[in-house]
Amino acid sequence: MSKPLTDQEKRKQISVRGIAGLGDVVEIKKSFNRHLHFTLVKDRNVSTPRDYYFALAHTVRDHLVGRWIRTQQYYYEKDPKRIHYLSLEFYMGRTLQNTMINLGLQNACDEAIYQLGLDLEELEEIEEDAGLGNGGLGRLAACFLDSMASLGLAAYGYGIRYEFGIFNQKIYSGWQVVEEADDWLRYGNPWEKARPEYMLPVHFYGRVEETHEGPKWVGTQVVLAMPYDTPVPGYKNNTVNTMRLWSAKAPNDFNLQEFNVGDYIQAVLDRNLAENISRVLYPNDNFFEGKELRLKQEYFVVAATLEDIIRRFKSSKFGCRDPVRTSFEAFPDKVAIQLNDTHPALAIPELMRILMDVEHLDWEKAWEITTKTCAYTNHTVLPEALERWPVCLFEKLLPRHLQIIYEINRRHLDRISALYPGDVDRLRRMSLIEEGDPKRVNMAHLCVVGSHAVNGVARIHSEIVKTTVFKDFCDIEPEKFQNKTNGITPRRWLLLCNPGLADIIAEKIGDDFLIDLFQLKKLLDFIDDEMFIRDVAKVKQENKQKFAAHLESEYRVKINPESIFDVHVKRIHEYKRQLLNCLSVITLYNRIKKEPNKKFVPRTVMFGGKAAPGYHMAKMIIKLITSIGDVVNNDPIVGDRLKVIFLENYRVSLAEKIIPAADLSEQISTAGTEASGTGNMKFMLNGALTIGTMDGANVEMAEEAGEENLFIFGMRVEDVEAMDRKGYNAREYYERLPELKQVMDQISTGFFSPKEPELFKDVVNMLMNHDRFKVFADYESYVSSQEKVNELYRNPKEWTKKVIKNIAASGKFSSDRTITEYAREIWGVEPSDVKIPPPNEPRD
């Protein structure tokens, strides 16, 4: 048998990664050496691998710059409607490889770096993830930026340049004990460009004075917002959009007030207080923590962004920084603002404040412009995740905005009373202000009232939104409510992370699927093609071996690459039910122990995900997983038939390694709790089969691929609702199901924590007495579904056929499709396939 190709040789053959022209390779080597010398001030004798990474990053960035400038010039000339995606999170991951792919430079760079005696993959591993997000919401924003650029939309991502992103997770003796600060900017960020010339003031605190010209917000404290721009390249269309992230700077006269006279040193030290606004990302996923610093972050990004948008709107024609437009009549025709969840909800009262207090429009006109401009995406129906800010905090921090919110509410409730005279309960339910101690502002209600469109993120979620949290609003304006099922970018989540699979697909159907993922349907023509079935299985096996090698080198963990790679990676949260998986793993363990001579299909169960630092139960879940692993992995009777691994510090760059290697994707939230999920889509596209409930986008995945090609189990939303009405009784299941009883008894008597038998009492108590997510109710169905997984895996050919059917059905889940729907149905713009001429060609 011929010697297998190295990754390097394999990548050279991949057509979909761009051709390495001889001229390109020579040019890249020259540029690389120039940057090593002039930018990094090093020679090859003293250069470190990090220096080589930076030299390559600058080389690749040089190829972006001309396209970036040209794209912005093109927008100034054409003056299209601009889309502004406001998000407190952009979970970007690494940039180098994605940029090479989108510019078609991957193979040229690979060859050039190889000729320089270096290894491209090694350099790629040096880059820090830009971890400016917690999970799904932040990663969705990143995929959306990629799609908006690839679809030629004039779009901007606006957020915060956190100095510290999501913490690095460290597991010590099975616990997530230390949340290590993510100092991702320590060595510098080659992809960003500071823009101090566009620095803007943001105001906090102060008071409102009534003047003859109307209310004035005075006596405020000022923090400066410094923009940092990161290029966002579209896929091979020469479009490069901008992500603008704001960083907080103290003004030079900060804290030199009368009480600080003479204390110059203290005044300078206190500048940190202002600059803390952009210091750190709040590490909560699906949980609201009403801290003043977080409210400051939310207003900071909104105030800076709106001033920026208005400046750009006024000076629309290119080369001109003087304001041209004076009328705001056309504002909603030129500006769209998408609110990614309620975190940037303050955009609504802030736009009202500017239009009325600064631009002197009357209320009616300002309100019409605001509602036509803003649209709101809801991401969750979990009550603990909904933002409800205390009025007293608002009053102190943003007094003018509170006035405006009260007035929005007054007019809104007047309208409701007119429609439903005497229905005080409806008024209470629909108010933007929740009475109680303390009084609170309901930010979701503010978003619904202040937007022209409200969308959920999967069909089932959008229906739940209309029938539960926003039912009263939907009764009045049903046309406002839409669905936009989430998607993922196939550039990062197929071509970048799984080149082997991308290549065998391209061999069969060409490479247009990367910009039109629906073309994957054509793979159904090859469902009985023995060679193709073999190739798909071979790519998966190679990915598994590569990941196994990674685990061995990084974590000293040996796993069996022939086993089912059963992967459960996502934030640790009770609603995501990592505990249900734990119970099933222990059940399988007990079955192996009971019949040690029986043939079992070997499994490696991999968990990964971060627990919010203050979320006790989530941290206990991690400890339970690692404790189960300690017992199972060291039991000689089990051998390599079952292994349980906890993957430390799950993040975008780790997802890119594990997802292509997975056989089974765990998507097992209680029906009605996961708004959409996007990990589910990444696994489907990369050839894993899904075991899941009918929740979020799983419903649409089953519809696209055929329910028989997923392992669907458990209660449906209707069943959960019925159970809520009758009451969920965990003990009933515990008494009725002997295997479940055995598992629970093992956990509660210390089988998995012999030194501390009581260790998991909180987990046991929760599961037995107050489990909101009804783990036991789905246990039986889940375990039997896992048996079906084993059965199918015994027949590799049938398994792979199902894999191909899933890949072929994943076209709907491209973020290109999602963004096309937002563009047409919410923003009122058309995607464009215009290819802006590259910098080396003259413009028209």
Query: What does the pLDDT look like over 56-102, one tens digit per residue?
Result: 999 999 999 999 999 999 999 999 999 999 999 999 999 999 999 99
CA distance 605 to 658: 12
pLDDT category of residue 318 using cuts at 50, 70 and 90:
very low
Helix (H, G, I), strand (E, B) or coil at 782: helix
Instruction: Identify the H or E element spanning 114.
Output: helix 106-115
CATH superfamily of domain region 499-629+647-714+773-813: Glycogen Phosphorylase B; (3.40.50.2000)
* Structure-block tokens of residue 167: 């913490």
> Is 12 among the catalytic positions?
no
Amino acid 290: pLDDT: 85
Amino acid 559: pLDDT: 93
Query: What does the pLDDT look like over 609-657, one tens digit per residue?
Result: 999 999 999 999 999 999 999 999 999 999 999 999 999 999 999 999 9
DSSP string, 732-764: HHHHH-HHHHHHHHHHHHTTT-TT-TTTTHHHH
Average pLDDT over every residue of 269-282: 95
* Mean pLDDT of all residues belonging to the chain: 95
∠ CA 799-802-804 to the nearest 5 degrees? 110
pLDDT category of residue 287 using cuts at 50, 70 and 90:
confident
Query: What does the pLDDT look like over 119-132, one tens digit per residue?
Result: 999 999 999 999 99
Give the list of residues 6+ apart from residue 830 with CB closer than 8 angstroms, or none: 823, 824
Longest dimension (CA), the chain: 89
In the chain, CATH 3.40.50.2000 covers: 79-94+129-180+191-317+325-487, 499-629+647-714+773-813
* Structure-block tokens of residue 653: 């760059």
* Structure-block tokens of residue 638: 């089990």
| Residue 150: CB atoms within 10 Å | 28
Confidence (pTM): 0.96
* Structure-block tokens of residue 799: 């398994």
Amino acid 17: pLDDT: 61
C-alpha R_g of the chain: 28
Decide: residue 317, CB within 10 A, 0-12 exposed, 13-18 middle, 19+ buried.
exposed
Helix (H, G, I), strand (E, B) or coil at 379: coil
CA distance 713 to 692: 6
Instruction: Kindly provide the residue ranges of all beta strands, DSSP E only, lying in 253-373, ordered along the sequence.
Output: 335-340
Angle, to 10 degrees, between the axis of helix 399-419 and the axis of helix 443-450? 70
Fold adopted by 79-94+129-180+191-317+325-487: Rossmann fold (3.40.50)
> Is 326 among the catalytic positions?
no
| Residue 725: CB atoms within 10 Å | 7
Q: Which of 373, 489, 626, 678 is catalytic?
A: 678
Q: Which of 11, 343, 570, 812 is catalytic?
A: 570
Average pLDDT over every residue of 346-362: 97
Q: Which of 17, 84, 334, 379 is catalytic?
A: 379
Amino acid 836: pLDDT: 85
Looking at the chain, how many residues does it have?
844
pLDDT category of residue 213 using cuts at 50, 70 and 90:
confident
Decide: residue 394, CB within 10 A, 0-12 exposed, 13-18 middle, 19+ buried.
buried
Amino acid 5: pLDDT: 62
Q: Which of 412, 576, 643, 774 is catalytic?
A: 576
Pairing of strands 221-233, 168-172: unpaired
Give the list of residues 6+ apart from residue 195 with CB closer than 8 angstroms, or none: 226, 227, 228, 229, 244
Amino acid 309: pLDDT: 98
CA distance 198 to 222: 16
CA distance 400 to 787: 60
Q: Say if CB 699 and CB 459 are below 8 A apart.
A: yes
Question: With 60 as the cut, is the pLDDT of residue 401 above it?
Answer: yes
Amino acid 839: pLDDT: 81
DSSP lists the bridge partners of residue 211 as: 214
CA distance 666 to 585: 13
Q: What is the dihedral of CA 305, 311, 316, 317, to 10 degrees?
A: -120
- How far from the centroid of its chain's Cα atoms is residue 147's Cα? 14
Q: Which of 343, 568, 571, 812 is catalytic?
A: 571
- How far from the centroid of its chain's Cα atoms is residue 341's Cα? 12
CA distance 608 to 574: 14
Amino acid 427: pLDDT: 98
> Is 682 among the catalytic positions?
yes
Burial letters for 783-810: b for 16+ Cβ neighbours within 10 Å, e otherwise?
Answer: bebbeebeebbeeeeebbbbbbbbbbbb
> Is 576 among the catalytic positions?
yes
> Is 571 among the catalytic positions?
yes
Give the whole-number percent of the chain exceeding pLDDT 90: 90
Average pLDDT over every residue of 316-339: 81
> Is 401 among the catalytic positions?
no
Burial letters for 449-458: b for 16+ Cβ neighbours within 10 Å, e otherwise?
Answer: bbbbbbbbbb
Give the list of residues 6+ apart from residue 327 with CB closer than 8 angstroms, or none: none
Average pLDDT over every residue of 546-561: 92
Query: What does the pLDDT look like over 427-466, one tens digit per residue?
Result: 999 999 999 999 999 999 999 999 999 999 999 999 999 9
DSSP string, 503-537: HHHHHHH-SGGGT-GGGGGGGGGGTT-HHHHHHHH
Give the list of residues 6+ apart from residue 781 with CB closer than 8 angstroms, or none: 713, 714, 715
Give the list of residues 6+ apart from residue 256 with CB closer than 8 angstroms, or none: 267
Q: Which of 94, 401, 461, 682 is catalytic?
A: 682
Question: With 60 as the cut, is the pLDDT of residue 11 above it?
Answer: no
